[in-house]
Amino acid sequence: MAKGIREIKRQIKSTQNTRQITKAMEMVAASKLRRAQEKTEAARPYSEKLREVVASIASASTGIRHPMLEKRAARKTAYLVITSDRGLAGGYNANILRRVSNELRDRHSSPDEYVLYVIGRKGRDYFRRRGIEIAETVTELSDAPSFADIKTVAARAVQDYELGHTDALYLCYNQFVNALTQIPQIEGLLPMEPVSFEGAMQSYEFEPSAEAVLSELLPRYAETLIYKAVLEGKASELGAKMTAMGAATKNASKLINEYTLTYNRARQAAITQEITEIVAGASAAQS
């Protein structure tokens, strides 16, 4: 019985240590989530201004042609998949990877019909294990990624479309709703739909021409949308981590209560047995 009690005490201590770790990770994720949301908000004005300028050119000019605006037969489709480098984030990675896998299976009959660009070690390892070729990958992003961190994969994805190596580009990421809810999304990025802007647009004069400015702005605008999706994905990752660690902390507390109840019962049984043995011994001595 004593051995059983010692084992229960070790389980209680081990679970308490685990609860301390998960609680700390929950608090860290909550702090990083606030900073990620602030970074997303800070990046929004640049994206909105770029959108306004592109919309201004589109509305003021007619007959402008650019590869990023032209729809063509989708012989090869590109997917830019955004995942995390680490786990302990609930279903964050599993949800988007399952969604992408279903998309590839349903839309394509051969691996020759698509190409992948992947951000995050989890996504890279997932597709490598399945023998799916990855054209470009970026890993080891910080919790507050800068545009320079994903510039290579974003530029490669956009450039491959411009050069005609791919005929469509989709963004695959988790849309952040709140810490409890992240929605897997697969959104078409290229070819671009006509850009619209709500509100009063300023009048611009372009040098050397609207077409030349648009040819420079469209790739940057597409890369900005990719960066925006990365920030959205990072906020989703931290929200999922905070929720997962919060649930783990609650489960640890529940286990500790159960172990403590079992420990108290075992200890009470041991004390009762000792008293019984003492009484029996005393009675034997008297007789």
pLDDT digits (tens, 9 = 90+) for 220-267: 888 988 999 999 999 999 999 999 999 999 999 999 999 999 888 888
Distance of CA 109 to the CA centre of its chain: 28
- In tens, the pLDDT along 173-203 reads 999 888 888 999 999 988 877 665 555 556 6
- pLDDT of 144 > 70? The answer is yes
Residue pair 182/174 in contact by the 8 Å Cβ criterion: yes
Q: Which two tokens stand for residue 188?
A: 């078409």
| Alpha helices, H only, 120-204 | 121-129, 147-162
- pLDDT of 111 > 80? The answer is yes
32-241 and 2-27+244-280 share a CATH fold: no
Q: How far is CA 167 from CA 70, 75, 170, 188, in A?
A: 10, 6, 10, 11
Rounded-to-integer distance, Cα 169 and Cα 85, Å? 23
Per-residue DSSP letter, 193: P
56's CB contacts (< 8 A; 6+ apart) are 197, 201, 202, 203, 204
Helix (H) or strand (E) holding 171: strand 168-178
**Secondary structure of residue 194 in the 3-state scheme:** coil
Nearest to 226 by CA among 125, 135, 141, 158: 158
- pLDDT of 136 > 60? The answer is yes
Rounded-to-integer distance, Cα 68 and Cα 180, Å? 36
Task: Provide the percentage of residues in the chain whose pLDDT is more than 70.
Answer: 91
Nearest to 235 by CA among 122, 144, 99, 119: 144
Q: Provide CATH code, domain 2-27+244-280.
A: 1.10.287.80
Nearest to 37 by CA among 237, 240, 236, 235: 235
Residue type, 109: S
Nearest to 149 by CA among 227, 86, 217: 227
Query: What pLDDT does residue 254 have?
Result: 94
Q: How far is CA 255 from CA 50, 246, 266, 269, in A?
A: 53, 14, 16, 21
The ranges assigned to domains in the chain are 2-27+244-280, 32-241
Query: What pLDDT does residue 195 have?
Result: 60
Query: What pLDDT does residue 215 have?
Result: 80
Higher pLDDT, 53 or 111: 111
Of 3.40.630.30, 3.40.190.10, 2.70.70.10, 3.40.1380.10, which CATH number belongs to 32-241?
3.40.1380.10
Nearest to 230 by CA among 129, 151, 115: 151
